[in-house]
Structure 1
C-alpha cells in the first residue's frame, strides 16, 4: 500500500493542465477515446516552448485499458511519422490528459478540399508528388510499427495528420495518429468485435476481417493504406458504403463486401487460396444468392481508368499490390517502399507540400466551424444535386464528434505542377 502522506504530497506536486495551458474553448475534434483541444503554454519555457500543442482529454476517469495501451505504445515508439507523446497529466480529479504534437491538417480534410473542387467542376486533384510523399511517409511509419510487432488497426484519412507551417514544427511531415485501437500482435488476437464492440469505420477494413478472420496480420494495415492511396488518387473513398459506421457484434458485413467486389470483381480461388475457408464464407454465399447479385466485368483496372489512372502506370501497379484480396499475397510496407513508383520523379520529400504555399484551411474550433459546415452542405446540394449528392453529403457532413473540422475562411484553389 502507498503511504497516505506520500499520496497527498504527490497530488500537491502534480502539474495542473489549467495552470500551464490555454485551451478552454478551443476544442478541435476527438479521437477514438478522447476529446482534442488546441493549446498554447501560458508561460513559455524550456519544458513547454512557445508553440501550439494538442491536448487530448481521455474520456472517463483514470486510466482505462484503452488509455493505458495508447500511452504505453506512444511512450515506447518514436518515429518521425508517428504522433509524438510529450507528456501525460493526471489531475486530482482523476482526469488523464495527453500532450501531443499539433497538426493543422489531416487527409480527411485535404481530400475533402479536392473533392469539393471536383463537385464544382474545378478538377484540382491532389498533386502527384504530394500523393507520393504522403504514401511513402505512411508506409515508413507503419513499417516501423510492424517492425516493433504493433498493428495500428484503424488507419483512415482522419487519422493521418500533416504538419502545417507553424513555428517549431516539421512543415509538411505526415504524423500517424490515434493509437487507441493499436495492438501488439506476437500473440494471437481476438476478433475485433470481441475486443472493441464500438463504432468502427468499415470502408478501410480488409476483406479477410469482413469474412470473420480469427487472427490479425500486418496485411490489414496494408489494405487500409491501399484504400487511402486510392482515395488520394481519386478524391473519393474507393470502397464507399452508405453505412459508414456500424455498431456490429460481428465483423461480417455484406454491403461492404459487395462494394469491394463491385470495384475489384469477385475473388477466384486462384487469386485467394483460402477464400472458401473463411469463417463467414457461407454467409456471403447465402446473401449473394438471396440478393441475386453478380459482379460481371468488375475490376480495379476498369474502376481506376474511369478516374484517369492507367493500368500500366507505376501508381496503379503499386495500388493493386496493396489491395490484393489474399492477405498472404498482399505486399508488405517494406516491399511497397522499394517499388519503382517511388524511384521515379517527382521523388518523395519530407515536406509533402514541396515548399509551396499550403492551400488548405486550418482547423478551427468546433463551435466556429458549425455554421460553415451548414453553408457548405447547402452549397453542395445546389451545385451537385444529381446522382452523387447522397455520397457527397455523407462524406462532407461528418459528425462533429467524429472528425476534426476546418475553418470557414475562403481559400483560392491552387494547382501545383509537381
Structure 2
C-alpha cells in the first residue's frame, strides 16, 4: 500500500472548512453566492485568499460555475485572477473557488474618488495610474482573445487590483462566468446567452441583437471603463431596469450612446441594417437628424475643456467605433502611441 499516496488523497478530500478560516469574513455577495476573505488554518501560509462560494441550483452545479472553472484551470496570465483550488461539498452541492486575494477593485476605487470629488476634496486618479491600469487590462484581454476566449462582462467591479505585496498595483481581470470560447461555437453565442455585458458597458451591436459575439464587444467595454477612470462617471449611464430582460435591446442605452457619439451613418457602420433589431430604431423614434450636433469630440470638449493628461481622443474613438469590424483590437491598442507618452 502506498501510504504517501493515501495521505495525499486524504489531504485532497479535506473540506474547505477544514483548511481555511473564513466564517464571519464575508466581503461580497451576488446572485452566484458569497465571497469571503480566507486564511489557512495551519499557519504555514500567511497569505490572504478570496473564497467564492457558489450556491447550488437545484441538484446541480450551475453551468456558469462549470464554465468559469474549466476556463480558469486552463488560463494563465499575470493579469487574470488565479484560481488556486476548487472544493466541492457533497452534502449541500456547494462549490467553493479559492483565488488569490485582491484588496481593491475599480468600482470601489472610482467610488472613493467620486465621493472625494463630491465633497470638494479633489482626489483625481493619477494619470500614470490610469495609463497603467488600461495597459494591464488590455494585456489580459489580449491574452484571452489570443486563446479564443471572450470575457463578455467587463466592468469596473470585475477589474481587481492587488494590494500590498509582491504584486502591488497588478491588475487582475476576474469573473469569467460569462466568458466563452468563440473559435468554433456549435451554435451562435447569442442563442446560449441572449443578454450579456452589463448595460452601461454593452456595445451597440449587442443592443441591436447581433447573433455573433466578437472580440469587439470587450473593447467597447474597455473604452467605457477608460472614460469612467478619467471622469469618475459612467459614460453611457442609463436606467438599468432590464437586469432580467430576455432581449439585449434597450432604448435608454442607445439614446445615451447616440447623444455622445451621434447617430451612425451607413458609412460609419455598413452592417447596421443587418442587425436583427435595427427596425426597432425607427419604431422607437430614433432619427439621425436628432443627433446631428453630437460627436465624441464635442462631448469630450465639454467634459475636458482644457484637455486631460491621460486622455487620447484618437484612442477613445477607436474603442468606441460603431462598426465592430473597424473597432480597435487589444493587440493594436497595446501598441498605440498613447502608451509611449509621459506620464
TM-score (norm 2): 0.90
Q: CA deviation at 1:311?
A: 9.5
Residue aligning to 1:150? 149
Q: CA deviation at 1:264?
A: 0.7
Residue aligning to 1:328? 325
Question: Using a 3 Å threshold, how does the CA distance of structure 1 residues 136 and 12 change in structure 2: closer, same or farther?
Answer: closer
CA shift digits 1:209-261 (9 cap, x unpaired): 00010011000000001100111111100000022652111111111111100
Residue aligning to 1:77? 75
Structure 1, 17-26 or 152-161: larger mean CA deviation: 17-26
Question: Using a 3 Å threshold, how does the CA distance of structure 1 residues 88 and 292 change in structure 2: closer, same or farther?
Answer: same
Question: Using a 3 Å threshold, how does the CA distance of structure 1 residues 199 and 81 change in structure 2: closer, same or farther?
Answer: closer
Residue aligning to 2:34? 35
Counterpart contact for 2:153–2:196, Cα < 8 Å: no
Q: CA deviation at 1:16?
A: 1.3
Residue aligning to 1:380? none
Residue aligning to 1:134? 133
Residue aligning to 1:401? none
- Out of 239, 242, 251, which is 2:239 matched to? 242
List aligned pairs for 1:16-415, cutoff 5 A: 16-30=15-29, 33-45=32-44, 49-60=45-56, 62-93=60-91, 94-165=93-164, 167=165, 169-188=166-185, 190=188, 192=190, 194-196=191-193, 201-243=198-240, 246-288=243-285, 294-308=290-304, 310=307, 315-346=312-343
Query: Structure 1: how far apart are the matches of 2:68 and 2:14?
Result: 21
Query: What are structure 2's unaligned runs of at least 5 residues?
Result: 1-8
Question: Using a 3 Å threshold, how does the CA distance of structure 1 residues 135 and 101 change in structure 2: closer, same or farther?
Answer: same
Instruction: Figure out how many residues of one structure are paired with residues of the other and give that number.
Output: 331
Q: CA deviation at 1:191?
A: 5.1
Counterpart contact for 2:195–2:247, Cα < 8 Å: no
Question: Using a 3 Å threshold, how does the CA distance of structure 1 residues 13 and 337 change in structure 2: closer, same or farther?
Answer: closer
SS at 1:40's partner residue?
A: strand
Q: CA deviation at 1:118?
A: 2.0
Question: Using a 3 Å threshold, how does the CA distance of structure 1 residues 199 and 245 change in structure 2: closer, same or farther?
Answer: farther
Question: Using a 3 Å threshold, how does the CA distance of structure 1 residues 32 and 126 change in structure 2: closer, same or farther?
Answer: farther
Query: Structure 2: how far apart are the matches of 1:245 and 1:235?
Result: 24
Query: Structure 1: how far apart are the matches of 2:178 and 2:94?
Result: 20
Query: Structure 2: how far apart are the matches of 1:146 and 1:211?
Result: 23
Counterpart contact for 2:86–2:96, Cα < 8 Å: yes
